[in-house]
Amino acid sequence: MKFLDEAKIHVQSGRGGAGAVSFRREKFIEYGGPDGGDGGRGGDIIIEAVENLNTLIDFRYQQHFKAQIGMHGMGRNRTGPAGKSITIKVPVGTQIMAEDRETVILDMVKAGQSIVLCRGGDGGRGNTHFKSSINQAPRRAEEGWPNEEMSVWLRLKLIADAGLVGLPNAGKSTFLAASSAARPKIADYPFTTLHPQLGVVEVDDNEFVLADIPGLIEGASEGKGIGTRFLGHLERCEVLLHLIDCADEDPVATYRTVREELDNYADILIDKPEIVALSKADTLLPEMVEEQREILEKGIGKKVYIVSGATQQGVKDVHRLLRHHIVAERERRAQENAEDKGFQP
């Protein structure tokens, strides 16, 4: 299945059916009176988040969605059938954005969450509603109410607890494969990963979701390489794992390059908790890896871990550290939400 994280669709609800002008005409009934029924209501356009989807690829083949119109009312006070609504199913984590691609209409972060994006028009009233003591044979009925239509952008931001960042070929895909049942493409050339990958990590009887995105290069914020197109998938992560190849000639410069691109993209990423690790430890002698760690720790002022996806060295320790940050961030956010509710009148 191909990965697509943005799509534009045009949606249109159904207009309401017109009311009927009709009079009761039956044998042996002298004064029949009006009996025109109401028009049916037009169908809605509903968007619903579901669990079993992880791409917007379906919207590459269908971009227009039009609900059924309501049918006209009929005699004998029969209301016209309502138009059928259309439910558009999207992955959990999809943002519905206005046509300007900036205004967020709804952020769908839970399975089953739904919104009526375009409401169908109400049916018009038949002539029965206009009967009065001075107008006992009204020949008036209402037209159905108009429909709604709009164009919206769907933007998918994957739901992951932790995210992998680093330059191309930093060992992110190897780490993801060693951490979970995910099987991303692994090869000895840059930009092996062309779209985000997710894996479920099990550690100490707990699970969390780890996301791997295509590597960043200097100038990514200006569109170089694959650019920052997929960085939005990290916005929902609680913690970032920054991997640097232990054989890098200047690991400090490499670290700063990636951090600068994250900073240029959005403050929300640069402010997230970060774990820094030297990857591919199996490719160098232990004393050389240790020397690289000392250089990096001194240059960035942070503790640096050593991992190897090929030999599993340090992988579980980093898993536990990621899990610790995920739990801490969730508790902090829950406390902030509780405090905010406490100040409400």
Residue-range domains of the chain with CATH: 6-156 (2.70.210.12), 162-340 (3.40.50.300)
Is 187 marked as a binding-site residue?
no
Task: Please determine, for residue 187, whether its predicted confidence score (pLDDT) is greater than 90.
Answer: no
Is 171 marked as a binding-site residue?
yes
Is 212 marked as a binding-site residue?
yes
Instruction: Quote the pTM value.
Output: 0.76
Q: Which of 85, 68, 321, 283 is nearest to 203 (CA)?
A: 321
Is 164 marked as a binding-site residue?
no
d(CA 296, CA 291): 9
What is the predicted pLDDT for the residue at 313? 92
Q: Residue 28's pLDDT band (boundaries 50, 70, 90)? A: confident
- Per the model's pLDDT, the better-predicted residue between 208 and 31 turns out to be 208
Q: How far, in Å, are 42, 109, 258 from residue 20 at the CA level?
A: 16, 44, 67
Q: Which of 182, 50, 29, 30 is nearest to 108 (CA)?
A: 50
Is 282 marked as a binding-site residue?
yes
- Count CB-CB contacts under 10 A for residue 187: 10
Percent helix / strand / coil, the chain, rounded to 5: 25, 25, 50
Q: Which residues are CB-contacts of 143 (< 8 A; sequence separation ≥ 6)?
A: 18, 19, 124
Q: Residue 338's pLDDT band (boundaries 50, 70, 90)? A: confident
Residue written as token pair 């619903």? 48
| Window from 27-31, 36-40, 138-142, 169-173 with minimum mean pLDDT | 27-31
Task: Please determine, for residue 276, whether its predicted confidence score (pLDDT) is greater than 50.
Answer: yes
- Per the model's pLDDT, the better-predicted residue between 22 and 268 turns out to be 22
Mean pLDDT over 172-194 rounds to 70
Mean pLDDT over 12-30 rounds to 91
Is 195 marked as a binding-site residue?
yes
Is 251 marked as a binding-site residue?
no
What is the predicted pLDDT for the residue at 287? 93
What is the predicted pLDDT for the residue at 32? 81
Is 167 marked as a binding-site residue?
yes
Query: 153 - beta bridge partners?
Result: 8, 97
Task: Please determine, for residue 136, whether its predicted confidence score (pLDDT) is greater than 80.
Answer: yes
Q: Residue 62's pLDDT band (boundaries 50, 70, 90)? A: very high
Mean pLDDT over 100-104 rounds to 90
Is 194 marked as a binding-site residue?
yes
Task: Please determine, for residue 118, whether its predicted confidence score (pLDDT) is greater than 50.
Answer: yes
d(CA 194, CA 171): 14
What is the predicted pLDDT for the residue at 228? 66
Q: Convert the pLDDT of each residue in 280-317 to its tens digit.
A: 999 899 999 999 999 999 999 999 999 998 889 999 99
Is 309 marked as a binding-site residue?
yes
d(CA 5, CA 174): 23
Is 319 marked as a binding-site residue?
no
Q: Convert the pLDDT of each residue in 204-254 to its tens digit.
A: 888 899 988 877 766 665 666 555 667 888 888 999 999 999 999 999 999
Is 137 marked as a binding-site residue?
no
77-81: Cβ within 8 A, 24+ apart: 77/35, 77/36, 77/37, 77/126, 77/128, 78/20, 78/37, 79/37, 79/38, 79/39, 79/40, 79/123, 80/17, 80/37, 80/38, 80/39, 80/40, 80/123, 81/40
Q: What percent of the chain has pLDDT over 70?
A: 90
Mean pLDDT of the chain: 88
Question: Within a 13 Å sphere around the CA of 310, how many CA atoms are in the beta-carbon half?
Answer: 8
Task: Please determine, for residue 155, whether its predicted confidence score (pLDDT) is greater than 60.
Answer: yes
